[in-house]
Structure 1
Amino acid sequence: MSSTQSLIRFVREFYQSNEFIPLHAPHFNGNEKSYVLDTIDSTFVSSVGAYVDLFERQVAEFTNASSAIATVNGTAALYSALYVAGVRPNELVITQALTFVATCNVIAQLGAQPVFVDVERATLGMCPRALETFLDQHCHLKEGMCFHSSGSRIAAVVPMHTFGHPVQIHEINRVCARFGITVVEDAAESLGSFYKGQHTGTFSPFAALSFNGNKVITTGGGGMVLCESQEVGKRVKHITTTAKVAHAYEFYHDELAFNFRMPNINAALGCGQMEQLHAYLSAKRALALAYQAHFDGSELEFVCEPEHAQSNYWLNAVICADKHHRDEFLEMTNKAGVMTRPVWQLMHTLPMFKNAIRGPLDMSVWLAERIVNLPSSVPTVSEVK
């Protein structure tokens, strides 16, 4: 039996299903429905309501963030974080080419330009050495700010915790501190992931989470900005709620801002999901350990959590021998009704970012030709047993 056929059998046996097996489906087996119905009965279904405040507190407490501000989606969360971090038109933001397109879309929508540096194999995220080499070779400090040789300011660095695996964020922060650059973590995929005992998204002034339907927990669509202080959190909340100055009846807005607040009905769903987060993470770890055991001794390399990290294993992944093997694996599994997918197209290969400034991307290219994501839905208790 081939390794691909063996994987198909393993997945079907694990999930106890002969039907189509999705990549990552949401689970609703707690208080989600009653909380959503409560918002309907209260009529507070839009951006004002008790569940928005509760959901923000739940996430802040779980991550140990000073402040957490709910938004309509993860893209809006990252946009808001970069805006408050000071990213403005004609500036540069360094990120990784191995990422979801939203990371780069928000940079461009702010009028800035993405710059790509390589990732490392162990974390699948931004390589601190590649970042430092790029800055040493192409950038300089002037009056406490970092400028590229083109003359544009490097306004921020955005590492992503790919598939929930934490990057070497301490090293990235060290490099950025040396060059006076703000770090904004793209933690969209890493709720429940820790690096050296600290939750991802809390190592920098700002971070963005996502609660899309395919994430560890979901609000249908939604995101969250994690902030380093209550003061910064108030600033984020102000600009994500149209910069309306509080008043009993007057509508006065004191600056250009956005309508990015999460509706109460979505937050209600999130509150029910947060109550089950610990159980979800335990179940997903059990699935990852089962995959790891299954692939032990195989020509497919299972992607394990990096050193000093506790990953949420949002999406499990394997590294194939080469692109040909990857393509065969994808074809066979999807034809068999077991959903797998390749990693995203590298950002510099997309038409809107093909002319972006970039350093060498050898590891990004190597991984993009070989990574396959595996079914990673939260298994039920009976499936884990």
Structure 2
Amino acid sequence: MTAQYRDSRRYDGTRERVFQACHDAMQPCGFTIKSSRPDTFTIEAEYQYRESPGANAGLFEEFASLAFDKLLSGRFGESITLTVDEDSRVHAVSISRPKTTLLDQGKNRENILAIWKKMDSYLLHSPTVVNDHSVTIGNNSGVVQNDSVGDVRQTNDFRGGAEDRPRTAPAPESRDEADRWEIGVITVLSEETKAVIYALGLHGRRIGGLHFYEGGADAGGTPVRVVATRALAQGNRSAMAAYDNLRRHYDPRIVVLVGIGGAIRTEVAVGDVVVADRIVYYDLRKETKEGTRHRGEERAAPSEVGHAVNAFFTAHDPARFSIEDPGGAVHDMRIWPGLIGSGDAVIADHEAEILEYLAGFNDKILAVDMESGGLTAACHEQSASSGQLQGWLVVRGISDDAGAGKNDDYHRLASWHAATALRKILPYLAPPP
């Protein structure tokens, strides 16, 4: 006789997205994935029982716990299978190991419910949930009860009634603060990504079809968890998608867009870095017979980020540094505070009408890019569902002057300077000890 727990939930989302959420929920819930088959949307994983002594445990209890972990924990646990069907319904089956109810400890149901809770935090919109609960021992049916060791019991009645009817799922809980990463980084070009990986000492991790780069960076003596990802393409829409991937898998406290940009002020030179906690999105416009009427929109980062930026430039006034690149060459780098204009156009003309508009909108705009508008919009809009402000910052190494001579010659230099600038700002973005 084998203790089992079966449950299913239907989520509002594509089959692929729900399958990815299943995959992501395994490790945080203590499961080790043994196989993941995207072709059949099936994940097989294992969970090992471990014995932990209580806070007031004596020598005998501690010894018994140690003996259990060393000798027996690998034998007792659960095998779990998650399958996503064509209706985006997740079917979960948890089976105790070994095949007995004696050592089940009531964990089958508890662990599946933990997986549901974790998935709810990833899939923020799951309006309809159908629960098909069933704990089975052998071939029994009706009211089934698992009399496990201790006070924990699994019991369920699936003969009909309210539990069998669809119901509206409760609003998902926001991710626990301990689960959040401190800093998330978005890059676009390969040079930008490589620079961030090297400057912060990150290592790669693949989650489904997505690639991330994780690490513990030194923020002035305080270690902070940093994760980076590269957007699929240039532009604001791709930046929004990259942010969604970061938030769904890591939920970073502050997201930093790091890479290259074009200067639109003569005092800002190639190799300088612009740090912006305010941006102007300039693509909103109205086309009339008289011409284009721009409707720029300015966005500011949460005050916590603004204070961090102010503290950095207070400590470094002027912010000038002598830095070494990966090849050993030494460069001078200046870091400027200022605004960045963002839109989906590549600007390669000093006389471009949009540059005249930006100068009139705010003369503190120092550079332009193609992604910060999308990132800041995504950070602003997600607060409606999460209930918390999303910190963001833009760090742009200057690779050109947005003129006709624009080319790729300084992409590598500007990317390295931007990544190095982020490393220097990290101590100010890190949470308090």
TM-score, normalising length from structure 2?
0.21
The structure whose RCO (Cα within 8 Å, separation 6+) is larger is 1
Which structure's CA Rg is the greater one?
A: 2
- With the length of structure 1 as denominator, give the TM-score of the two structures: 0.23
* More helix, by proportion: 1
